[in-house]
Structure 1
Amino acid sequence: MPASAKPAPDKLSVPQKALRKLGLVRPIDLALHLPLRYEDETRVVRLADALDGDTVQIEGEVTQQEVSFRPRRQLLVSVNDGSDSCVLRFFNFYPSQQKQMAVGTRIRVRGELRGGFGGLTMMHPTVRAAGGALPEALTPVYPTVAGLPQAYLRKAVGAGLAQADLSATVPPEILGEIRGKPLWELRKALAFLHHPAPDVALVQLEDHTHPAWQRLKAEELLAQQLSQLQARRARHRLRAPVLPSQAGGLHEQLLAALPFGLTGAQRRVGEEIAQDLARTQPMHRLLQGDVGSGKTVVAALAACVAIDAGWQCALMAPTEILAEQHFAKLVDWLAPLLEARGQRVAWLTGSQKKKARGEMLALIDSGEAALVIGTHAVIQAQVKFRRLGLAIIDEQHRFGVEQRLALRNKLSETERAGDDKQVAQEPHMLMMSATPIPRTLAMSYYADLDVSTLDELPPGRTPVVTKLVSEQRRAEVIERIRAQVAQGRQVYWVCPLIEESEALDLSNATETHAELSAALPEAMVGLLHSRMPPAEKKAVMSLFSAGQMAVLVSTTVIEVGVDVPNASLMVIEHGERFGLSQLHQLRGRVGRGAAASACVLMYSAPEGGRLGETARARLRAMAETTDGFEIARRDLDIRGPGEFLGARQSGAALLRFADLQDDAPLLEWAREAAPRMLDEFPDLAARHVDRWLGERADYLKA
């Protein structure tokens, strides 16, 4: 059977390869692959009793068949069921279908019925020969991919359901703690959801409120919480370097040298991090704060503690521009202090020349580089740290799981060669995000993290006014830019695409750059996009940062990290194409100085139409609030947790059935049940996690 066959990968059939693509490898994977929707093939309806818009199954005799060429080639088949007639319309058809629906043949047809002046019609219905027993349960329609027909998938799921070990992994005394939720036994719940009785309320199946769904959601959330708790406990068994704060050390020297004072939130979060670094367990902390809340300073102070204790610190950013911003700030703050101690700040990116790269690798290996800043290049195999004690990852959701794990393993490479061979060590980890994590996500996907929040903006930040403007008012927007430039201000113009796309009729960055250059001859207009050579990008950014360039036309490479206080206006072209958190990040590039700042979201509805509901919701949220936490909450509502988390799950949806907001009571139950399961029923807990997550459990631990 497809569910149990395990031939060599090169001998797999097309459907078997497709099953693997969907992650359906074990019988339990197939058993947990639940239908998207259902078709009711359990009864035949008379045409006279059906309503316009109903999806029905009828049985009747073919009375006429013709191929028409007006307005386009199509097959028209008339069927009479004794109560009325219906025309079946096919725009794509084959000779075999014409033969199947020959005049005089009795057929069974299922499709959506449409009424009109020409009588009843069905477009591309499902057709089979009449007769034979009707199914006793609703027919499942499963999520699938190319090369995997529903018939094959139904057979495979049936085999998986028969073979899977569905014995109870949650003891009754723990399940009984879900008050007011009579839950079905797992095997019964799965059998029902794959083949529900025809009399069940479809709405309960579709909105996942049926008791069978409740059982699956409870088990899934428990597996997730168990996996997170296992990760947290495993981390507590690991050892990390103890990095105590030192009186009069680098930390205090930096505070004294900074040209500004810390906010209360920065001081509080800095203290939380310092306490973590002084412990023997590895810190695993997420530092979240809205755009401009001062995360970089907090990271610099944490780096000082590590360096003071005689260890190295690595800071990894997702883009070269962001890494350069960090490098410029930290060199300005720390380089003089480090040089007095005979130490350096190293810079490492993929675009470096071989000689420069070699020099940096030598500094890192020798330990002379106390602080290493860079992109993914920091985790490459040839990078050997002398003593890595603290790893800082900025915009951590933009890195894949494997990349974060690789940075954590850098200490293992250096320290296991030492005296302590018995206890695995890893560096302390500080992850930063300017996309605040809503509470429900922090409780679930980030349950193994300690979360610190910068909920206070430094003084001097001006509120940014957000305006929604139709593309038809483009000329007015350009005049607004002219006025800003005349006052000595600088402007960002962000485009969503680099080059023409046949699918999307969007202006590209190059065209916009030419347009603005012609409209503003008195100003320098620059262009920045991801395909430019690094040296060219750096030159453009230097001109803009220095104030020589008035307008910067850019793709989203300026989304994070760019800090130009004189920039007071941002125009985002085709704002409806961007995600909500991305729009908020972009808006955060202005309002960094004393001048009143604005963000113009220019939108364009499809020709002859209107913006989709999702796009409208995003733009409305941006206009109504500048609060990053409120933005994050609305973003979660719009996109759901899978998309919101980005690379954290590396393409694998960690929650398939439960909804973090609708199922908050089940999530609370799972959080309380997980510690008891691990303490009292460790074998059952291990089986439960393996059943539900398999290899995906690793993604929750990174």
Structure 2
Amino acid sequence: MSEVPSVSSKAPRAPKSANKTATKAASKRAGAVASGPEASAASAPAAAPAKSAPQKAMERMGLTRDIDLALHLPLRYEDETQITPLAAAHDGDTVQCEGEVIESRIEIRGRRQLLVKLRDDQGGQVQLRFLHFYPAHQKTLAVGARIRARGEIRVGFFGREMVHPSFRKVDEQTPLATSLTPVYPTSAQLPQAYLRKAVASALKRAPLDEVLPPSMIPAGLPSLRETLQFLHHPPPSAGLSTLEDHTHPAWQRLKFEELLAQQLSQQQAQRERAHLRAPVLRGSKGGLHERLLGALPFALTGAQQRVTEEIAADLALPQPMHRLLQGDVGSGKTVVAAIAAAVAMDAGWQCALMAPTEILAEQHFRKLIGWLEPLDVEVAWITGSVKGKARQKMLDAAASGEAKLVVGTHAVIEDKVSFARLGLAIIDEQHRFGVAQRLALRKKLADSLNDDTPGAVPMEPHLLMMSATPIPRTLAMTYFADLAVSTIDELPPGRSPIVTRVFADGRRDEVIEKIAAAVQDGRQVYWVCPLIEESEALDLKNATETHEELSAALHGKSVGLLHGRMPPAEKAAVMALFSSGEMSVLVATTVIEVGVDVPNASLMVIEHAERFGLSQLHQLRGRVGRGSVASVCVLLYTGPLSDTGKSRLRAMAETTDGFEIARRDLDIRGPGEFMGARQSGAQLLRFADLQEDAPLLSAARALAPRLLDDYPQAALRQVERWLGHKTEYLKA
């Protein structure tokens, strides 16, 4: 019950030692202030009161402003507006009853329990059972006390009972609640009663005036104040179904407000970027980019030509490009990035390419070296594994401008790395970098171009982000609303189709036989494991054990092992053997998820496939099918499968289309998990559902520019109310 937290059966109580410690600390602080030689009532500063455990818990949950509490909405509701006679309550019903305690005792039945018998005014009886209780509970639930209790009725061997009901002491005149009782998301240190009072108090103080002009609020929706009052304290007549499925007009108003704030933030970021300067990058006739195109051993697809032109048009503008290049695995994004880099270098500027893993960065490096070194372009290589004189040589080449292209991992943005004239930055698999890394990169890149001249217009390099995880349209309209998006929706010719098979782990021997046959025919095989070494927590086949098993089964064929803990030189040596065809089978962890390109590899086995995410499974599958031979991906799973696991494996078996995979992944995981590190743990959309609320998203997207143009102060207040400090996450 909400009013008396001290008698809730689950209310936490501070240990005596903690109380003593707090008292001593308070006395010590008071003594220190009072005993100083200069101490006086006028001059001594008041010690800041210590924060209680609930206050600290609220801060950890981000509930620091009145508006934060006002927008902290209930998970569900309890109906405490009526009393149900016990005679009318059935097994499994959740009811509120009221009556007199006629028996209260402690029993030992395997464990200490408090048993309380309650009789209502109609003579019905129920036993209240508490497995966790405090002396205060015994006192409140003493014989003769009048109690109002709420819980689920269970009919068992000892008759009717409620286990751990909520309860409070009342009298005949204690009124019933007039609205449904909210149950909020909370933590162990933050009792519901405390949080309910905090929210109710914040609702009175929070600035809930209408920010939006009336003409811009969709017809039929209540005001924001009415919306929040209703959702925190709905009347008994409110339909619980529309409250719980978020279709009630009050929920629609909240979703619209949230989506509008998000769209305003993104579009404002886009407008701010339009006021920045960037180097104008145009390739010259017969210049580097044309020579690169002429030297490539293949022709670009129509989709590659289209996105190359889109990027070139952006680079030729004096405003910084902020573009996402997305394409399915194997669609040829690297060559598009190389052509963009060639345009920048042709214009006399440097380019940096950053990848999330050293293996992926090295794959890029080798490809770019192969294409650009014959054209007399120096490429620098900067990762954590490059040490000593070799590293200093690369740093000097980047700082002097001698290295026109710098390729590496996040080491590219370390403090010691500087550029002479950085005009373009390319980030591959950008969603794999955390928010802090991406914001740091943008600042570093901008710093490399700017000086401290007063009044100078800020300047940023152009930014091209690449992703092999296609972004569904609704996500592109929200989290990437400030980005221009180029899509490669065509695979290069000659790619073989990939057939996906799903096998239970019991057919493991059969799979190994298929591998032996493929190796005998001269094909190469990947076997992917989720762990490196044995784990007591998870009973999974590990990479080292599988490597030994396959080495024994394949009679003298070369079987390699690759995982993230290996020294970089050793990893490079293993990859070189596999790439050259000298190694038949590569047992690896997910370090081969992206970037690895071995056309002769036509079979992949993913062990414990149920443990991987859908996007990761699709990325791994993309390592095969890169040659002209038909390829197979085997998903080995260990049952029983969860519903989510079944959905993932079914999606993999039914389609190889990355865009369809992304759509299903969004359905399964929701936008928060799908976006991963972009939010850095901060959920940017709490109420809106991008699939169900597409009409509201479209309305917010259309309204945002009008609001920015005609009511800029209202737009600013809307963003501040809903997003606060989170606006930086949206820009990353």
TM-score w.r.t. length of structure 1: 0.93
Q: Give 2:247's aligned amino acid.
A: T
Aligned-residue offset at 1:65: 5.5
Check whether the contact 2:96–2:149 (CA below 8 A) recurs between aligned residues. Answer: yes
Check whether the contact 1:391–1:407 (CA below 8 A) recurs between aligned residues. Answer: no
Change (3 A) 1:12 1:490: farther
Aligned-residue offset at 1:67: 5.8
Q: Counterpart in 2 of 1:50?
A: 89
Aligned-residue offset at 1:571: 1.4
Equivalences for 1:206-355 in 2 at 5 Å?
206-337=244-375, 339=376, 343-355=377-389
Q: Give 1:697's aligned amino acid.
A: T
Change (3 A) 1:418 1:460: farther
Instruction: Pick one of 687, 693, 697 that aligns with 2:717.
Output: 687
Instruction: Pick one of 165, 183, 192 that aligns with 1:125.
Output: 165
- C-alpha distance in 2, partners of 1:289/1:531? 30
Q: Which has the larger radius of gyration?
A: 2
Indicate yes or no: 2:696 matched with 1:696. no
Aligned-residue offset at 1:16: 2.4
Aligned-residue offset at 1:453: 0.4
Aligned-residue offset at 1:535: 2.2
Q: Counterpart in 1 of 2:671?
A: 641
- C-alpha distance in 2, partners of 1:590/1:119? 64
Change (3 A) 1:98 1:508: farther
Compare 508-517 and 34-43 and name the one that shifted more.
508-517
Indicate yes or no: 2:477 matched with 1:443. yes
Q: Counterpart in 2 of 1:433?
A: 467
Equivalences for 1:470-481 in 2 at 5 Å?
470-481=504-515
Instruction: Count matched residues.
Output: 684
Check whether the contact 1:387–1:411 (CA below 8 A) recurs between aligned residues. Answer: no
Q: Counterpart in 2 of 1:654?
A: 684
Instruction: Pick one of 155, 158, 168 that aligns with 2:197.
Output: 155
- C-alpha distance in 2, partners of 1:544/1:327? 17
Check whether the contact 2:532–2:543 (CA below 8 A) recurs between aligned residues. Answer: yes
Compare 679-688 and 111-120 and name the one that shifted more.
111-120
Indicate yes or no: 2:56 matched with 1:22. no
- C-alpha distance in 2, partners of 1:110/1:396? 51
Q: Counterpart in 2 of 1:663?
A: 693
Q: Give 2:308's aligned amino acid.
A: G
Instruction: Pick one of 580, 588, 592 that aligns with 2:622.
Output: 588
Aligned-residue offset at 1:697: 1.1
Q: Give 1:191's aligned amino acid.
A: Q
Aligned-residue offset at 1:248: 0.8
Aligned-residue offset at 1:106: 4.0
Q: Counterpart in 1 of 2:4?
A: none
Aligned-residue offset at 1:363: 0.4
Change (3 A) 1:13 1:532: farther
- C-alpha distance in 2, partners of 1:693/1:50? 46
Instruction: Pick one of 487, 490, 513 that aligns with 2:524.
Output: 490
Compare 139-148 and 277-286 and name the one that shifted more.
139-148
Indicate yes or no: 2:651 matched with 1:613. no
Aligned-residue offset at 1:144: 2.0
- C-alpha distance in 1, partners of 2:720/2:188? 28
Compare 529-538 and 344-353 and name the one that shifted more.
529-538
1:369 match: secondary structure: coil
Q: Give 1:665's aligned amino acid.
A: P
1:120 match: secondary structure: strand
Change (3 A) 1:85 1:473: farther
Change (3 A) 1:184 1:309: same
Change (3 A) 1:472 1:61: farther
Instruction: Pick one of 34, 39, 44 that aligns with 2:73.
Output: 34
Aligned-residue offset at 1:455: 0.3
Indicate yes or no: 2:143 matched with 1:113. no
Unaligned residue ranges in structure 1 (runs of 5+): 1-6
Identity of matched residues, %: 69
- C-alpha distance in 2, partners of 1:21/1:159? 19
Indicate yes or no: 2:211 matched with 1:169. yes
Q: Give 1:36's aligned amino acid.
A: L
Q: Give 1:329's aligned amino acid.
A: K
Unaligned residue ranges in structure 2 (runs of 5+): 1-45
Aligned-residue offset at 1:419: 7.9
Compare 121-130 and 39-48 and name the one that shifted more.
121-130
Change (3 A) 1:67 1:695: same
Compare 50-59 and 394-403 and name the one that shifted more.
50-59
1:431 match: secondary structure: strand
Check whether the contact 2:501–2:634 (CA below 8 A) recurs between aligned residues. Answer: yes
Deviations 1:535-567 (A, max 9, x none): 222222222222222222222111111111121
2:167 match: secondary structure: strand
1:640 match: secondary structure: helix
Deviations 1:63-113 (A, max 9, x none): 556666667665554444345443444444445545544555543322222
Indicate yes or no: 2:104 matched with 1:59. no
- C-alpha distance in 1, partners of 2:160/2:553? 58
Compare 474-483 and 354-363 and name the one that shifted more.
474-483
Aligned-residue offset at 1:633: 0.7
- C-alpha distance in 1, partners of 2:339/2:281? 13
Check whether the contact 2:474–2:691 (CA below 8 A) recurs between aligned residues. Answer: yes
Aligned-residue offset at 1:477: 1.7
Q: Counterpart in 1 of 2:495?
A: 461
2:80 match: secondary structure: coil
1:373 match: secondary structure: strand
Q: Counterpart in 2 of 1:3?
A: none
Indicate yes or no: 2:177 matched with 1:143. no
- C-alpha distance in 1, partners of 2:479/2:568? 35
- C-alpha distance in 2, partners of 1:188/1:116? 45
2:153 match: secondary structure: strand
Aligned-residue offset at 1:119: 3.7
- C-alpha distance in 2, partners of 1:488/1:64? 82
C-alpha RMSD of matched pairs (Å): 2.2
Change (3 A) 1:69 1:557: farther
Aligned-residue offset at 1:451: 0.5
Aligned-residue offset at 1:195: 1.2
1:276 match: secondary structure: helix
Compare 216-225 and 128-137 and name the one that shifted more.
128-137
Aligned-residue offset at 1:287: 0.4
Aligned-residue offset at 1:269: 0.5
Q: Counterpart in 1 of 2:25?
A: none
Check whether the contact 1:287–1:432 (CA below 8 A) recurs between aligned residues. Answer: yes
Q: Give 1:112's aligned amino acid.
A: E
TM-score w.r.t. length of structure 2: 0.89
Q: Give 2:499's aligned amino acid.
A: V
- C-alpha distance in 2, partners of 1:217/1:568? 47
